Amino acid sequence: MKHKLLILAGVLAVVAVLGGFYGKPVAAQIRGLLVQDVDQPARAPLQQSFYLTQLGGNPVTIPKGYRLVVDYVCAQGSAYAAPNPPDTSTNNGTQPLIVLTTPAGSSTQKYPLYLQQSPTIYSQWSGSWPVTIYADSLTVGLGYSGYSPEAGTFAFDIMVSGHLVFVGKGQ
């Protein structure tokens, strides 16, 4: 019995010595396995499309506890705001734009994205933009610079692509 007790004490002493040398590296590896990899955009992709036929904005759905990082926006559509061909003498041209609006603290940040006019069909507009916008809430809207068309004379498809970053519960 005494012999087994000495063997047990020796094994515990060896484990204690080895634990002193290898305990921290092993713990760091285990801790590394338990940490979430939140910086990978492919972990939580988000893409939403909007069909806008009126001025104003549509909210992007962002789950609670996440922040949206907008990576890309593209849009295409038509606006019949000026005569075809354009009458430059009356200065009634229009410039459609996509407006991304997000609250940042107490102020509102707006990100206008100007569409390019088709060189062959005057009423057609399109655009695509790589962007980096961080948002806890986001509204996608349509606006105009210059002459604003009447309701029913414009329609745009807008797609917002990005990824979600976990920021914690209740934040």
pTM for this entry: 0.67
66 and 88 together in one domain: yes
β 94-104/138-146 pair status: antiparallel
Q: What pLDDT score does 161 carry? A: 94
Structural domain contains residue 171: no
Range of the domain at 75: 41-166
Positive or negative, the Cα torsion across 73, 79, 81, 87? positive
Rg (CA), the chain: 29
Domain count, the chain: 2
77 and 157 together in one domain: yes
2 and 71 together in one domain: no
Structural domain contains residue 12: yes
Structural domain contains residue 153: yes
Q: Are 113 and 98 in contact (CB under 8 A)?
A: yes
The CATH code of the domain that includes 69 is 2.60.120.340
Grouped pLDDT means (10 residues each) for the chain, 171 residues: 78 69 62 59 83 84 89 89 49 71 66 86 87 89 76 84 82 44
